[in-house]
């Protein structure tokens, strides 16, 4: 499970430092290259709820094998893609594979460990692997792009995905037989949930690139319509993708909303690091990737520390600490860019981001899956992952899309982006304050979902 999580997380960030090489190889500009980044995260996040529902209905092992196989095949296609359009399609398919595989994998872990210290440690390992994958994606991208070429950032994952498939066949317990009267899948809900963030991201990216006003307005209007349509479909569906009763569990709702806001700031920081090192300072891909190494090392340290503090401090204190560390990192990024300091000056901000991820994401994951049962572990895990990825993609679209927009060329884009991210973090802290200091023991009489 951890190996799968690692390579899926790597693919979120591994393209960032390789983007100039990809653009040069296909002859496309930075505006088009945006879709190599956000196409993967938005598609994956939009379909995660469907993946969680599939895991609950059809079996975690089946969906784990299906999603992992699709992710591996799409990675192979991305590495061999002869055209830029096919590369974007491969990235969309990678997101779909992630959406099917990850909820099944996380639900398997949650149900393996009882609620308490053991689950806390397991989710800490899970979050640490994901965080290290996100950061090491930058390091690996720089090394691989400099020595092997950008195509190998995708191809290198293929043999490891084969190992995951073989291990899952032999190590994961077989699923229960599928009920013959299983309810139909909520495909309209899944399509609307995916269309909403895709249209929103497209509209913001076009606005940042001085696109047509009518295209931007149409995309944003379509995003609002898709969101409203999703709520309407879920309210009327006999077997909704996201049961509206989920929102009766206020603790989980608060945890997922905070996850979106925190992930927006964290994901924004990754791109700001990359832009500052490569675009502002002109550092090459290899050195830029290695400069991110302190972030990966510190994440490992926090992955050991946070599980112990989670039991002592409680989830709310850890989450608030994570938000505070992330806000401090944003201030550090803005200061370094204003002073136009060297690349090593970004290391304090990287350490603060590591602390923010270590404290915040681990605590939120624990709260978001509190009280789950065999019947709803997949959907709860899918919602948490969707909140993480959609929050990150939306945060990047807003903070970076607006911060680096041509209309604001007279302003420091790093300052604008960090201010927008800080506003989201303040909102996240307000929501997180309503989380319980201690997550109570699961109430098995509670309605599923």
Helices 84-112 and 117-147, packing angle to 10 deg: 160
Structure confidence at residue 70 (pLDDT): 95
Band (30; pLDDT cuts 50, 70, 90): low
- Give mean pLDDT, residues 154-166: 91
**Rounded Cα gap, residues 332 and 345, in angstroms:** 9
In the predicted structure, residue 433 carries a pLDDT above the cut 80:
yes
Residues 6+ away with beta carbon under 8 Å from 304:
none
In the predicted structure, residue 208 carries a pLDDT above the cut 70:
no
Flag the least confident range among 155-159, 183-187, 259-263, 318-322.
Answer: 183-187
In the structure, how many helices (H) and strands (E) does the chain have? 18, 0
Structure confidence at residue 65 (pLDDT): 93
Pick from 122, 66, 56: nearest CA to 97: 66
Provide the CB-side half-sphere exposure for 292 (13 A, CA): 35
In the predicted structure, residue 240 carries a pLDDT above the cut 70:
yes
Domain map of the chain by residue range?
2-174+241-432, 186-240
Q: How confident is the prediction for the chain on average, in pLDDT?
A: 82
User: According to the CATH classification, is domain 2-174+241-432 in 1.20.1250.20?
Assistant: yes
What are the tens digits of pLDDT across the range 95-108? 899 889 988 888 78
Band (428; pLDDT cuts 50, 70, 90): very high
Provide the CB-side half-sphere exposure for 21 (13 A, CA): 21
Residue 390 Cα distances to 65, 102, 334, 376, 397, angstroms:
24, 15, 24, 21, 10
């Amino acid at each position: 499970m951890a190996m799968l999580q690692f390579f899926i997380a790597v693919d979120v960030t591994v393209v960032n430092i390789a983007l100039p090489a990809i653009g040069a190889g296909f002859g496309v500009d930075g505006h088009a290259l945006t879709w190599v980044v956000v196409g993967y995260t938005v598609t994956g996040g939009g379909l995660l709820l469907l993946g969680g529902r599939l895991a609950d209905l059809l079996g975690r092992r089946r969906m784990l094998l299906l999603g992992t196989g699709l992710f591996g095949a799409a990675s192979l296609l991305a590495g061999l893609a002869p055209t830029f359009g096919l590369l974007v399609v491969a990235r969309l398919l990678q997101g779909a594979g992630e959406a099917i595989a990850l909820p099944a994998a996380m639900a398997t872990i949650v149900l393996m460990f009882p609620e308490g210290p053991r689950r806390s440690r397991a989710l800490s390992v899970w979050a640490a692997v994901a965080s290290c994958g996100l950061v090491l994606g930058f390091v690996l991208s720089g090394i691989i792009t400099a020595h092997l070429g950008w195509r190998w950032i995708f191809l290198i994952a293929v043999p490891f995905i084969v190992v995951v498939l073989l291990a899952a066949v032999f190590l994961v317990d077989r699923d229960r037989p599928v009920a013959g009267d299983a309810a139909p899948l909520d495909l309209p809900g899944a399509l609307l949930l995916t269309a909403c963030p895709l249209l929103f991201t497209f509209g913001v990216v076009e606005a940042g690139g001085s696109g047509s006003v009518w295209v931007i307005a149409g995309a944003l209007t379509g995003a609002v319509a898709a969101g409203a349509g999703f709520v309407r479909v879920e309210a009327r569906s006999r077997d909704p993708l996201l049961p509206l009763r989920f929102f009766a569990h206020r603790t989980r709702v608060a945890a997922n909303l905070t996850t979106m806001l925190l992930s927006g700031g964290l994901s924004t920081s990754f791109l700001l690091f990359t832009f500052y090192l490569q675009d502002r300072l002109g550092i090459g891909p290899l050195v830029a990737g290695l400069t991110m190494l302190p972030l990966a090392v510190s994440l490992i340290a926090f992955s050991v520390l946070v599980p112990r503090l989670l039991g002592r401090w409680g989830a709310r204190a850890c989450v608030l600490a994570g938000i505070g560390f992330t806000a401090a990192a944003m201030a550090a990024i803005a200061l370094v860019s204003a002073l136009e300091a060297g690349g090593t000056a970004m290391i304090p901000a990287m350490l603060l981001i590591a602390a923010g991820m270590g404290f915040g994401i681990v605590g939120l994951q624990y709260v978001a899956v509190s009280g789950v049962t065999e019947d709803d572990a997949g959907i709860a895990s899918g919602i948490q992952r969707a909140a993480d990825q959609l929050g990150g993609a939306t945060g990047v679209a807003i903070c970076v899309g607006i911060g680096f927009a041509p209309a604001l060329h007279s302003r420091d884009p790093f300052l604008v982006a960090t201010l927008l991210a800080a506003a989201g973090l303040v909102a996240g802290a307000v929501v997180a304050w309503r989380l319980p200091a201690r997550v109570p023991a699961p109430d098995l009489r509670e309605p599923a979902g």
